[in-house]
Every structure is written in structure tokens, then in C-alpha cells.
């Protein structure tokens, strides 16, 4: 039986593909980190909006109680004003609750998905790095066996060991060839998928921002309409104009 002492795998210089994959991995890692922090703040924003809806609901209930109290004490106009404020607050409760749902659906949730996509790109690069390391180990094993064979060739009495060494070299070469082909396929896939991800991300994130802005504008407008309605109902026209100014 042939025993060869394998040398420690040497550190090999990186080629252009190695460097490009390193850049992709670093980018994906940093992107995932930044998206995670954005997701955390987006979650806090959704929670805050939801909590605000609960506050408006409680505010609406208390205003309604006050309105009933005032009417029971012959303060009809004040009671009506409190009731109108309660109704407006109730509208804001619905608006705010709906807004939290839209913020979650249009921004928070997609950002979390993109964080996972970035992590997937990073893991894909890490898989390529692991394959590269495996290939380098196999290459070192091949080189070690080639040296062993060279030391045995032409040495009297070592013919059998030389034949075993030749077989070991052939087996090691086959492993290297297979892993080299697999590494090339993984590299092509990694680079192409990373480029596709960056292209799609640029447009998708832009759309998320636009949709988020539209949600803010839409619900701000709904809230404003609710407030303006109570002004029109509770104040004379000239006082409404002054309030708007």
C-alpha cells in the first residue's frame, strides 16, 4: 500500500473570478446588514402607527363619553362638538389602522424579503468559497502525489510503489478535474445571479420607496379631510378661513 504525506495546502493567488466573488460577498454582507437595520426601524414605525391607532380609538371613546355627559347637562352645542370630535377620531382610528397595514405590506415586509435575498447571495458566495477551498486542497493533494511519484520513478526495487503512485496521481487528477469544472460552473452562476439580483434590486427598492411615499401622502390627505370636515361643521365660514391661514 502506498502512503503519501500530504503537504499543507499552499495559499494560492486569487484570480479575477476570486476577486470578483469576494467583492460580491462583501457587498451582499453589508447590504444584508443595512437592510436588517432598515427593517428593524420599519417594524418600529409600523408598531408606532398601530399604537397611534389605538390611541385615537381611546380618544374617540372618551370624547363620546364627554359629549354624552354635556348633552345630559343641557350643553347641546358643546356635546355635539365633542361627539363630532369623537367621530373624527374614529375615522382617524380606521385611517391609522389601515395605514399600518399598508406600511407593513408595501415596505416593511418587502424589505425583510430583500434582506433574505441579500443573505442568500452572501451564502451563495460562501458556498463558492468553500468549493474553492476544496479544489485547492485537492490540487495540493495532487501535487503531493506527483512529487511522490517523481521520487519513486526509476528507483530500483520501487517499481510496485511507483505503479501505485501512478494510480494515486491519476485518481487525484480526476478529482481535481471534476472539482475544477464544478467550481467554474458555481462561479458563473454566482456572478450571473449576483448581477441579476443587483439589477432587480435597484428597480424594486425604488418602487418600494415610491409606494411608501404614496402611502404617507394618501393617509395624510385622508386625515386632513377628516379634520377639515369637522372645522366646516363646527365653525362659521369666516373662522374656517382664518384657521386655514
DSSP letter (8 states) at residue 3:
-
Q: Are 114 and 205 spatial neighbours (Cβ–Cβ below 8 Å)?
A: yes
Q: Is 16-244 in CATH node 1.20.1270.60?
A: yes
Q: Give the model's pLDDT for residue 195.
A: 94
Q: Model's pTM, two decimal places?
A: 0.77
Q: What is the pLDDT along the chain (245 residues), one digit of tens a residue?
A: 444 444 555 678 999 999 999 999 999 999 999 999 999 999 999 999 999 999 999 999 999 999 999 999 989 999 999 999 999 999 999 999 999 999 999 999 999 999 999 999 999 999 999 999 999 999 999 999 999 999 988 888 888 898 999 999 999 999 999 999 999 999 999 999 999 999 999 999 999 999 999 999 999 999 999 999 998 887 765 555 555 55
Output the CA–CA distances (angstroms, integers) from residue 110 to 32, 124, 209, 216, in the order listed.
13, 21, 11, 17
- DSSP character string of the chain: ----PPPPPPPPPP-HHHHHHHHHHHHHHHHHHHHHHHHHHHHHHHHHHHHHHHHHHHHHHHHHHHHHHHHHTT-HHHHHHHHHHHHHHHHHHHHHHHHHHHHIIIIIHHHHHHHHHHHHHHHHHHHHHHHHHHHHHHHHHHHHHHHHHHHHTT-TT-HHHHHHHHHHHHHHHHHHHHHHHHHHHHHHHHHHHHHHHHHHHHHHHHHHHHHHHHHHHHHHHHHHHHHHHHHHHHS-HHHHHHHH-
Q: Are 25 and 194 spatial neighbours (Cβ–Cβ below 8 Å)?
A: no
Q: Give the model's pLDDT for residue 3.
A: 41
Q: Give the model's pLDDT for residue 234.
A: 78
Amino acid at each position: 500500500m502506498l502512503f503519501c504525506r500530504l503537504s499543507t495546502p499552499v495559499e494560492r493567488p486569487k484570480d479575477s473570478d476570486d476577486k470578483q466573488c469576494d467583492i460580491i460577498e462583501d457587498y451582499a454582507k453589508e447590504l444584508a446588514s443595512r437592510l436588517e437595520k432598515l427593517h428593524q426601524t420599519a417594524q418600529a414605525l409600523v408598531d408606532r402607527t398601530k399604537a397611534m391607532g389605538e390611541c385615537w380609538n381611546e380618544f374617540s371613546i372618551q370624547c363620546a363619553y364627554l359629549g354624552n355627559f354635556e348633552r345630559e347637562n343641557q350643553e347641546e352645542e358643546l356635546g355635539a362638538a365633542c361627539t363630532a370630535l369623537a367621530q373624527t377620531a374614529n375615522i382617524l382610528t380606521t385611517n391609522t389602522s389601515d395605514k399600518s397595514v399598508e406600511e407593513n405590506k408595501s415596505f416593511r415586509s418587502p424589505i425583510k424579503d430583500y434582506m433574505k435575498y441579500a443573505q442568500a447571495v452572501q451564502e451563495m458566495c460562501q458556498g463558492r468559497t468553500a468549493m474553492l477551498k476544496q479544489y485547492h486542497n485537492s490540487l495540493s493533494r495532487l501535487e503531493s502525489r506527483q512529487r511522490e511519484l517523481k521520487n519513486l520513478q526509476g528507483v530500483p526495487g520501487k517499481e510496485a510503489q511507483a505503479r501505485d503512485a501512478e494510480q494515486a496521481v491519476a485518481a487525484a487528477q480526476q478529482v481535481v478535474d471534476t472539482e475544477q469544472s464544478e467550481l467554474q460552473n458555481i462561479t458563473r452562476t454566482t456572478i450571473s445571479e449576483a448581477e441579476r439580483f443587483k439589477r432587480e434590486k435597484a428597480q424594486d427598492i425604488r418602487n418600494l420607496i415610491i409606494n411608501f411615499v404614496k402611502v404617507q401622502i394618501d393617509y395624510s390627505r385622508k386625515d386632513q379631510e377628516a379634520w377639515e370636515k369637522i372645522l366646516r361643521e363646527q365653525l362659521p365660514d369666516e373662522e374656517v378661513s382664518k384657521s386655514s391661514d
